[in-house]
Structure 1
Amino acid sequence: MAPFNLKIKKGVVGRNKTFEVLRAQLSKTDKTLWFHCASLGEYEQGLPVFKELRSHYKNHKIILSFFSPSGYDIRKESPIADVVVYLPLDTEKNATLFLDLVNPELTIFVKYDIWPNFLKTLKSRNLRAILISAAFRPHQAFFKYYGKQLRDALFAFEHIFTQNEGSKELLKSIGYNKVTVSGDTRFDRVYSQLALDNDLDFISKFKGGKACVVAGSTWPEDEALFIEYINSQSVKDVKFILAPHNIKSSHIQQFKNKLSVKTVFFSNKDNQDLESAQVFILDTIGVLTKVYQYADIAYVGGAMGATGLHNTLEPAVFGVPIIIGNHHSKFPEAQAMIDNGGMFSVSNQNSFNTVLEGLIANQDRRLESGIKNFKYIEKNKGAVIQILHYLRI
């Protein structure tokens, strides 16, 4: 499929270089740790644990592997790792060669990216491995009659830290009992953002003293809501910051052309009058988390269509109300925040307009809903401490 799909091609090319990279950067005498993540989301989930281990194991080399190009491309210069590679395809030969080169004292997999041959080889060599932030559902192959190979792979982990009790019960149903319900490390990850400097002068300049709506990780179906709303409503006293998931220049320009108000891009912010603009489009990556600090209302994309809801915890930690689409059944944190009254699900343009207008008009409601979201984050952090305690760190 590689000749027909750029993302697959990147993975194929990258995997072909993995062993060459490992040979060049590791020696037989190196002490190592291995962290594996499927993609960028799992990396962000594991990051608070990775950082603690990085600071504790100062004399070890850390190998970080990804399966997806979207994770590798963005974090190939990760400061928590000495070597970043694509994980080779899961064959016995690849697993043997990879572990001959890496030979980790400790391996950490994140969530549910389970590779049977790699895990089988780790176990056969008595090498330590744990799974963190695991989330399981009954329909997964681990719990079906045809999933023996995947079930066996789970038993290579000396311990599994799950996000919830349901996942623990599913593991118990297949005879795996070395489980701790620690919660989701993403709560620790986003909470740590509050200790950082999140100030962005250009966003302060753009926002001025007006209410600001920040829409993160939007897809076309999300963007259509904002185009219609901004073009048809009298919202001169409201600023909008939009961060499309697709930042290709052709898409970004097409998006801008559909808006009837003054719009500026991050890429040319230094040459624009930011104060007079009403829409700011982030045609870049890496700043959205900080931008959420300036939101009075947040919108998180992905749930208006079938692509999957993006990270709602990032804006929640800044104590702002959040709007999402209605396809969020696979995201328990979204339902929890909806039940708490801090998040609002919309299904069409009319419901979007109603919810957004209501929040814009009622500052007290915004503050009340935002506080509920912050308290939800605060209540659920703490997974990292439990994992480090198990590892005796």
Structure 2
Amino acid sequence: MRSILYSLLLIITRVFLPVLGLFNPKLNLFYKGRKNLLNNLKKVLSHNSSPIIWVHCSSVGEFEQGLPVIERLKQTYEGWKVLVTFFSPSGYEAVNNELVDFKFYLPLDTSANAKEFIDSVNPKMALFIKYEFWYNYLKELQKREIPTFSVSSIFRPTQIFFKPFGKWNRRMLKAFTYFMVQDQQSLNLLKKIRLENAAITGDTRFDRVLKIKEDPTRFPEIEAFCQNKKVFIIGSLRPEDDDVVFNLVKTHPELKFLIAPHEITEKHIQKIEQSVGSSIRHSMLQEADTNKQTLIIDSIGKLSRLYRLADFAYVGGGFSDGIHNILEPAVYNLPVFFGNSYYLKYKEAVDLTDMGGAFPVANASQISDKLKKLEDENYLQQTKKSIEKYVNTNRGAAEKVVALIEKMAEK
């Protein structure tokens, strides 16, 4: 019965997508990206004779999480190709990486699509990063006995898999060859529903941010803007964070601010400009603009490397549906602030808060109070050391994941 309802929902989605896309740019990309998708996929793959590893990511964040694993797999399985699929347009549009041989949207999870997709790709193994669970694709992979792995997955008691009415959803989990989970709670939850094919490997995002830290990319024009002053960077700013951030900028004229919106829209950028006063967009930055207080980063792809220029960081999302990646600033040992409404489900946020390296806040005055304490050099260095220790302790997850994949894929 659940399978029938699920199929009906997908049919309804497919019918209404073109109409909904007229009113929503993201849904329009979602729809257009899937037009003639399977035919295009077959055409692209028709000349390929190499074995394929299929990696599925929801969006760009999950892709970044999967990159350290992809890199190691390419080294381990020399000559194999990596095909990456995305559910979200933001992931598909943003990603352009030399480690990826083929990039496609994931066709809607119908039974027919799953069969045709796997027929065409013929993957030797499949990896689903973090939260991705698609019933028909998993069912088809299981039927064909293709090794299938859940990588850097994390489970919580509130998820439907662990509810009395979650039997149909639990069936999906049985399709996985092995789970590489982030923490003990996830392992315990899987064992509770009699899934023993799991191990704690950690979070591969630690490996990713450590790799990014080694990247020599510099931004001399932004360094010049900072003028050797203390810099507070605002990463992935969401509209729900605006009041806190705007008040913070107004009350700290002694600081330079770099603001990177989560979604770069003209409407949000104009709101930032009107609210913070002395500002300039990065795309318009001139040498004479170094007297401005705030630089608005109005392009994507720079944020993770800009954190190295800062002394403090605020990461958006804590007042909306969940904070963005706080490990990106943490790898540079930056004290990290974020909204206190939606952070408890993020292990790294809870861990760093407990260790004194991260600070959930309700308003700008709480950030100001903490900044005052961080003026104490001993306290600041103690905070930085706690963050550094945490990041370094959690490195090496990708190596563990690939070692398990090698072992399980041989069985």
TM-score (norm 2): 0.89
CA deviation after TM superposition for structure 1 residue 376, in Å: 0.7
1:290 aligns with 2:309: no
Match for residue 391 of structure 1? 405
2:158 is paired with a residue whose SS is coil
Match for residue 156 of structure 1? 175
**1:218-276 per-position Cα deviation (integer Å, ceiling 9, x unaligned):** 1223232232233344x33x211111113212321231122233x2211112x342432
1:133-282 matches, within 5 Å, as: 133-233=152-252, 235-236=253-254, 238-261=255-278, 263-269=279-285, 271-282=286-297
Q: Distance in 2 between matches of 1:29 and 1:111?
A: 29
Q: Distance in 1 between matches of 2:345 and 2:389?
A: 22
Q: Answer with 222-231 or 122-131: which moved more.
A: 222-231
Q: Distance in 2 between matches of 1:357 and 1:274?
A: 28
Letter in 2 for 1:32: I
Summarize the Cα distance change of 1:356–1:226 in structure 2 as closer, same or farther, 3 Å threshold.
Answer: farther
Q: Answer with 312-321 or 347-356: which moved more.
A: 347-356
Identity of aligned residues (%): 36
1:59-70 matches, within 5 Å, as: 59-70=79-90
1:132 aligns with 2:151: yes
1:39-118 matches, within 5 Å, as: 39-75=59-95, 77-118=96-137
CA deviation after TM superposition for structure 1 residue 295, in Å: 1.0
Partners of 2:239 and 2:268 within 8 A in 1:
no
**1:129-188 per-position Cα deviation (integer Å, ceiling 9, x unaligned):** 111101111121212233223212212211110001111111111111011111111111
Q: Distance in 2 between matches of 1:387 and 1:231?
A: 46
Which of the numbers 353, 366, 374 marks the counterpart of 2:380? 366
2:379 is paired with a residue whose SS is helix
Summarize the Cα distance change of 1:366–1:222 in structure 2 as closer, same or farther, 3 Å threshold.
Answer: farther
Q: Distance in 1 between matches of 2:378 and 2:77?
A: 47
CA deviation after TM superposition for structure 1 residue 202, in Å: 1.6
What CA RMSD, in Å, does the superposition of the two structures yield over aligned residues? 1.8
Runs of 5+ unmatched residues, structure 2? 1-19
Q: Distance in 1 between matches of 2:376 and 2:116?
A: 61
Partners of 2:213 and 2:305 within 8 A in 1:
no
TM-score (norm 1): 0.93
1:176 is paired with a residue whose SS is coil
Match for residue 315 of structure 2? 300
Runs of 5+ unmatched residues, structure 1? none
Q: Distance in 2 between matches of 1:231 and 1:81?
A: 44
Q: Distance in 1 between matches of 2:242 and 2:370?
A: 16
Q: Distance in 2 between matches of 1:108 and 1:163?
A: 15
Q: Distance in 1 between matches of 2:228 and 2:352?
A: 28
1:356 aligns with 2:374: no
Letter in 2 for 1:116: Y
1:26 aligns with 2:45: yes
Letter in 2 for 1:290: R
Q: Distance in 2 between matches of 1:122 and 1:230?
A: 52
Aligned length: 386
CA deviation after TM superposition for structure 1 residue 207, in Å: 1.5
Match for residue 314 of structure 1? 328
Partners of 2:72 and 2:399 within 8 A in 1:
no
CA deviation after TM superposition for structure 1 residue 288, in Å: 0.8
CA deviation after TM superposition for structure 1 residue 198, in Å: 4.0
CA deviation after TM superposition for structure 1 residue 38, in Å: 1.1
Which of the numbers 351, 373, 379 marks the counterpart of 2:393? 379
Partners of 2:240 and 2:320 within 8 A in 1:
no
1:107 is paired with a residue whose SS is strand
Q: Distance in 2 between matches of 1:127 and 1:230?
A: 53
1:13 aligns with 2:28: no
Q: Distance in 1 between matches of 2:41 and 2:277?
A: 52
Summarize the Cα distance change of 1:260–1:357 in structure 2 as closer, same or farther, 3 Å threshold.
Answer: farther
